[in-house]
Amino acid sequence: MNALAPISFESALKARYANARLRLMSGRSLPALPEITLSEPEPSPEPKVYYPPVPLNMLRPCSARFLIRLVGLKHNIPVRYILGLSRQRKVVAARHEAIAAVYQHTQASMPAVGRFFGRDHTTILSALRKMGAERKLVEMTPRARAARRPQKVVSAPDLTPTGSFCNGKGWSEAPHG
């Protein structure tokens, strides 16, 4: 290889670090590398980011999967990390945003969102408070509203004896025949 041949910025740095590492680890003095004038690396063109087509249908309610994918694209984090157990700061921030989006833009309750993300509803509540997103942005359908309403307690059926064998004071003897 020609000594005057241009070398890349990265390969020159790697050679310098390898030489320094050898000098430090071996304990003996090695000849230092000759001075290399490093040219600034050429700026690489911006990588083209591919965003898969995301259907936006404003007439139908958004699904939780759609909202999580949307947040994942925004933060450049895969969906499996958002739904996973990672506690890295950027993943947690994306997860909290996804939780807020799913809760606010779907008919799901906090326990339902918690089941979808594999977490307790109190964790969902904590994420919503952190994001400042405690109220829904979609109107509840009558079906979803009925599901959230506490069920009326139905009393036990009336077991007062009636019929042909009842004399009003209790059971009478059934006719034998």
- Summarize the confidence of residues 58-75 as an average pLDDT: 84
Q: Check residues 134 and 58 and name the one with the higher pLDDT.
A: 134
Taking only the tens place, the pLDDT of each residue in 82-103 is: 999 999 999 999 999 999 999 9
- Summarize the confidence of residues 115-139 as an average pLDDT: 88
% of the chain with per-residue pLDDT over 90: 33
Contact between residue 109 and residue 148 where contact means Cβ atoms under 8 Å apart: yes
Domains by residue range for the chain, with CATH: 64-136 (1.10.1750.10)
- Alpha carbon distance 55, 105 (integer Å): 15
On the question of pLDDT at 155 being above 60, the answer is: no
> Would the pTM of this model clear 0.85, i.e. be above it?
no
Taking only the tens place, the pLDDT of each residue in 19-57 is: 777 777 776 665 665 565 656 666 667 766 665 555 555
Q: Tell me the torsion sign for CA atoms 27, 30, 36, 42.
A: negative
- Alpha carbon distance 146, 46 (integer Å): 51
Average pLDDT, the chain: 75
Output the pLDDT for position 15.
Answer: 78
Q: How confident is the model at residue 171 (pLDDT cuts 50, 70, 90)?
A: low
Output the pLDDT for position 149.
Answer: 62
Distance from first CA to last CA of the chain, Å, rounded?
119
Taking only the tens place, the pLDDT of each residue in 98-114 is: 999 999 888 888 999 99
